[in-house]
């Protein structure tokens, strides 16, 4: 491992006053192993130098060269990889992750290097720092010294070639502090350890090299060398000119005593100590190594420093998703009220989008088709509809326009429905003068010539009696018949030839028109109609044609065709409905192009009319909902942004720590992606649930209001995709910015507590 820095300059601009030159041209070459101290008063630039060398901070000028690779040539996240691969950090404030146990803190460092954090590795490292049995403890259950040992273990477990420590003993008592230095000394036998300290005594005692800073400049750089102290005789050495060392087990000879006398001749006071504590202190202050060698500091020759070997080969960090997810999930709890508000607002917005797009994507054709199919409505009517009907969006009928035989044939071909048109004259219903000139109500969808031929073709049968013979004979439908019985106007026995209606007609037959009697009954009234209502229906309210009412002799309609829908076959019904809708679209475009003569054949029955109304209503509502949705989504996104920003702020220090350990900006991104992801997943789930619930509620309301089982709202793939898209999109936009800013921050800015 070769580490070198060249001409580092770092200036901090101040809001007031001259900028501070924290580093002012620092060049250093480091040895492959050994304990290097950086000494200096507070504010001299020690931490800045360490942070720059460790890639936590960026210098304004100069470069770091690691194994021949200059930081000037770093690209992307190589600085992070450099930390991840080569470095271990130990800080004064320990900087271990409070949400993670001892074991997890250590495991994370291993995993960032793509290694598996198995129990054996962790146990080994905990043995080294004397913390076996503390695996499951959380940092707040540890003493300061224990926390620092966890931090050391975390740094060591990466097997770093360089260990950086910034005042590692600053927060510890002197005894614990000394133990930490002893540990670092031991570690420096196999790697480079760079320690920042302001304690000169420790620095000179433990350090192999001591670099002193003042105002960002190196004022001294000394290196420790050892020389053998001269032997006075076997077992007796003279260290310097004034210290006599007697080796363990040596007995003084007469010759030795003479020599000693020669040294103490000057009359100076002398001690002979056998107290190990005193001896240690003497050795420390006189710089005597354990082997008795004399140590001496001399000026460092940077050019002569033995840098060792090594090639640039780094490991890109990989933050395990599990850990990222956990940190993300944890920070959700920080502001529960805001979180709930964010989720509520987002859910409202996305539900509005979901319902709006469900309405917008409701397809008239499938709505009609499935309703016809579900209700087993097997009769279909067509009538001509003119331009006013199309262009106003309202479906009115030109009641005076008869259908030609060709048109009837065309409808038959297009729809595939076996239908019949009628061409004969219309007969007014009653003698009543007010009806004599009335054209049938335009809403009478399908009157045809009532003859046996037609009944055969559509499968209508007489339940009682038969065709009208006299002008005042009337055939009633099974529906009217049942209504008469239900309302008590008549009994089964006194219907045919006996019962007269409106004092003008005698009932001659009851025709089963296969009409959906139940749905008509429900529409007219909850109960069966009263006698008065029946008579009034016969006279005026003939919306349901003779299928629901009845007919007199020679009764025909000039303008409608009727046929049986192939209800046994969904696709047949669908084809019939499609034929009508296509004709509608074609005519609409013709009309829009100025061709005012266009008519189209409208498929009519009560279901079609209701479906058209609902479809139109949905078109309008969907616009309204989209508008509200956009507004709500805007506020939801703002709240989301705010939430993520706050939670990032709360996690700044943790992120700084992770970066110091080796995590890349992208790893940090993952934490907040998980956080935003969790919120988004909840939003989507809720929005989908509400969209479906609202759809079912609307369906139920429509059904109970209409007496048809129409399925009007069915969230399909488009609304579901839209909810996913909008939710993910807005989460991405609102969490991207703050996260991006954070990920591109210098680690030192995150780690520095504010």
Cα dihedral 26, 29, 32, 33, rounded to 10, equals -50
Residue among 12 and 435 whose Cβ is closer to ligand ADP? 12
Q: Which does 252 bind (CB under 5 to 8 A by kind): ligand ADP, Mg ion, none?
A: none
Question: How would you classify the pairing of strands 87-90 and 505-512?
Answer: unpaired
Q: Please list, in sequence order, all residues whose beta carbon lies within 8 angstroms of the beta carbon of residue 337, skipping any fewer than 6 positions away.
A: none
Residue among 40 and 416 whose Cβ is closer to ligand ADP? 40
Shortest separation between residue 668's beta carbon and Mg ion, angstroms: 25
Site track 133-172 with Mg ion (rule: CB under 5 A), x = hit: ----------------------------------------
Shortest separation between residue 37's beta carbon and Mg ion, angstroms: 13
Note whether 466 and 509 are within 8 A (CB): yes
Shortest separation between residue 20's beta carbon and ligand ADP, angstroms: 5
Shortest separation between residue 50's beta carbon and ligand ADP, angstroms: 8
Shortest separation between residue 43's beta carbon and ligand ADP, angstroms: 4
- Alpha helices, H only, 288-380: 321-331, 336-360, 364-375
Residue among 44 and 358 whose Cβ is closer to ligand ADP? 44
Q: Which does 694 bind (CB under 5 to 8 A by kind): ligand ADP, Mg ion, none?
A: none
Shortest separation between residue 287's beta carbon and ligand ADP, angstroms: 26
Q: Within positions 616 to 645, which residues make up the interface with ligand ADP, using CB under 6 A?
A: none
- State which of residues 2, 10, 39, 47 lies at the interface with Mg ion (CB under 5 A): 47
Shortest separation between residue 751's beta carbon and ligand ADP, angstroms: 11
Shortest separation between residue 21's beta carbon and ligand ADP, angstroms: 8
Question: Could you give the CA distance from residue 363 to residue 369 in angstroms, rounded to a whole number?
Answer: 10
Q: Which does 40 bind (CB under 5 to 8 A by kind): ligand ADP, Mg ion, none?
A: ligand ADP
Question: Could you give the CA distance from residue 369 to residue 570 in angstroms, rounded to a whole number?
Answer: 7
Shortest separation between residue 46's beta carbon and ligand ADP, angstroms: 3
Q: Using alpha carbons only, what angle is made at residue 215 by residues 211 and 217, rounded to the nearest 5 degrees?
A: 45
Ramachandran quadrant class, 215 (left: phi over 0; alpha: psi -120 to 50; beta: rest): left
Q: Which residues of 264-273 are buried (b: 16+ CB within 10 A; e: fewer)?
A: eeeeeeeeee
Residue among 44 and 183 whose Cβ is closer to ligand ADP? 44
Q: For helices 78-86 and 652-661, what crossing angle results, to 10°?
A: 70
Nearest Cα residue to 237 out of 293, 194, 186, 177: 293
Site track 14-53 with ligand ADP (rule: CB under 6 A), x = hit: ------x-x-----------------x-xxxxxxx-----
Residue among 679 and 751 whose Cβ is closer to ligand ADP? 751
Q: Does 170 bind ligand ADP (CB under 6 A)?
A: no
How many angstroms from the chain centroid is the CA of residue 105? 27
Residue-by-residue DSSP string for 723-747:
HHHHHHHHHHHHHHHHHHHHHTS-H
Question: Could you give the CA distance from residue 68 to residue 76 in angstroms, rounded to a whole number?
Answer: 18
Q: Which does 695 bind (CB under 5 to 8 A by kind): Mg ion, ligand ADP, none?
A: none
Residue 410 sits at φ, ψ, to 5 deg, of -65, -45
Question: Could you give the CA distance from residue 485 to residue 488 in angstroms, rounded to a whole number?
Answer: 5
From 39-47, 370-378, 416-424, 578-586, span contacting Mg ion (CB under 5 A) = 39-47
Determine the residue with CB nearest Mg ion: 47
Residue among 216 and 328 whose Cβ is closer to ligand ADP? 216
Burial of 486 (0-12, 13-18, 19+ CB in 10 A): middle
Would you tell me which residues interact with ligand ADP (CB under 6 A)? 12, 20, 22, 40, 42-48
Would you tell me which residues interact with Mg ion (CB under 5 A)? 47
């Amino acid at each position: 491992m070769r580490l070198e820095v060249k001409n580092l300059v770092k200036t901090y601009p101040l809001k007031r006053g001259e900028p501070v030159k924290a580093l002012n041209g620092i060049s250093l070459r480091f040895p492959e192993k050994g304990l290097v101290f950086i000494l200096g008063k507070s504010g001299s630039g020690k931490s800045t130098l360490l942070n720059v060398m460790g890639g936590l901070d960026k210098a304004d000028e100069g470069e770091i060269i690691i194994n021949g690779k200059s930081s000037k040539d770093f690209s992307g996240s190589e600085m992070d990889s450099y930390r991840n691969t080569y470095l271990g950090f130990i800080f004064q404030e320990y900087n271990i992750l409070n949400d993670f146990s001892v074991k997890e803190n250590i495991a994370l460092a291993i995993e960032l290097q793509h290694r598996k954090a198995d129990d054996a590795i962790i146990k080994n490292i905990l043995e080294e720092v004397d913390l076996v049995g503390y695996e499951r403890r959380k940092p707040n259950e540890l003493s300061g010294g224990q926390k620092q040992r966890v931090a050391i273990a975390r740094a060591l477990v990466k097997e770093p070639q360089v260990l950086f420590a910034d005042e590692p003993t600053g927060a510890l008592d002197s005894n614990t502090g000394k133990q930490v230095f002893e540990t670092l000394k031991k570690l420096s036998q196999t790697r480079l350890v760079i320690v920042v300290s302001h304690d000169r005594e420790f620095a000179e005692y433990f350090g192999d090299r001591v670099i002193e800073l003042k105002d960002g400049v190196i004022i001294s750089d000394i290196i420790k060398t050892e020389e053998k102290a001269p032997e006075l005789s076997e077992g007796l050495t003279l260290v310097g000119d004034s210290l006599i060392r007697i080796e363990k087990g040596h007995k003084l000879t007469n010759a030795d005593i003479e020599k000693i006398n020669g040294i103490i001749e000057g009359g100076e006071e002398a001690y002979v100590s056998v107290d190990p504590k005193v001896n240690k202190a003497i050795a420390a202050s006189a710089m005597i190594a354990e082997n008795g060698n004399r140590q001496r500091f001399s000026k460092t020759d940077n050019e002569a420093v033995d840098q060792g070997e090594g090639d640039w080969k780094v490991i890109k960090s990989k933050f395990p998703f599990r850990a990222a997810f956990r940190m993300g999930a944890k920070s959700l709890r920080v502001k529960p009220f805001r979180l709930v508000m964010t989720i509520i607002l987002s859910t409202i917005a996305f539900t509005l989008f979901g319902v709006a797009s469900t309405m917008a994507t409701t397809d008239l054709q499938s709505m009609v088709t499935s309703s016809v199919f579900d209700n087993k409505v097997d009769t279909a009517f067509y009538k001509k509809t003119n331009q006013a009907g199309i262009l106003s969006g309202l479906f009115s009928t030109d009641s005076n326009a008869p259908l030609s035989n060709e048109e009837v044939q065309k409808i038959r071909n297009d729809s595939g429905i076996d239908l019949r048109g009628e061409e004969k004259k219309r007969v007014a219903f009653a003698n009543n003068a007010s009806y004599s000139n009335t054209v049938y109500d335009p809403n009478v969808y399908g009157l045809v010539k009532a003859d046996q031929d037609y009944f055969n073709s559509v499968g209508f049968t007489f339940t009682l009696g038969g065709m009208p013979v006299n002008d005042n004979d009337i055939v009633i439908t099974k529906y009217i018949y049942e209504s008469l019985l239900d309302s008590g106007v008549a009994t089964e026995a006194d219907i045919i030839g006996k019962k007269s209606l409106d004092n003008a007609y005698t009932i001659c037959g009851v025709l089963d028109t296969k009409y959906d009697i139940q749905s008509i009954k429900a529409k007219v009234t909850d109960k069966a109609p009263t006698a008065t209502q029946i008579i009034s229906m016969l006279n005026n309210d003939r919306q349901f044609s003779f299928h629901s009412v009845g007919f007199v002799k020679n009764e025909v309609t000039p303008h409608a065709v009727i046929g049986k829908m192939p209800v046994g076959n969904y696709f047949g019904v669908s084809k019939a409905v499609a034929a009508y809708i296509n004709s509608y679209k074609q005519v609409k475009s013709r009309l829009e192009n100025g061709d005012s003569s266009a008519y189209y054949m409208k498929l009519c029955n009560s279901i079609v009319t209701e479906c058209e109304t609902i479809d139109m209503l949905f078109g309008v509502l969907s616009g309204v909902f989209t508008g509200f949705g956009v507004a709500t989504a805007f506020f939801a996104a703002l709240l989301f942004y705010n939430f993520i920003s706050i939670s990032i702020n709360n996690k700044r220090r943790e992120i700084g720590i992770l970066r110091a350990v080796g995590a890349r900006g992208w790893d940090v991104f993952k934490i907040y992606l998980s956080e935003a992801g969790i919120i988004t997943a909840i939003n989507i789930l809720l929005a989908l649930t509400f969209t479906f619930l609202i759809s079912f509620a609307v369906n139920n309301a429509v059904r109970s209001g209409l007496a048809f089982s129409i399925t009007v709202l069915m969230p399909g793939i488009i609304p579901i995709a839209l909810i996913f898209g909008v939710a993910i999109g807005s989460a991405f936009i609102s969490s991207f910015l703050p996260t991006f800013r954070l990920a591109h921050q210098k680690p030192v800015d995150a780690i520095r507590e504010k």
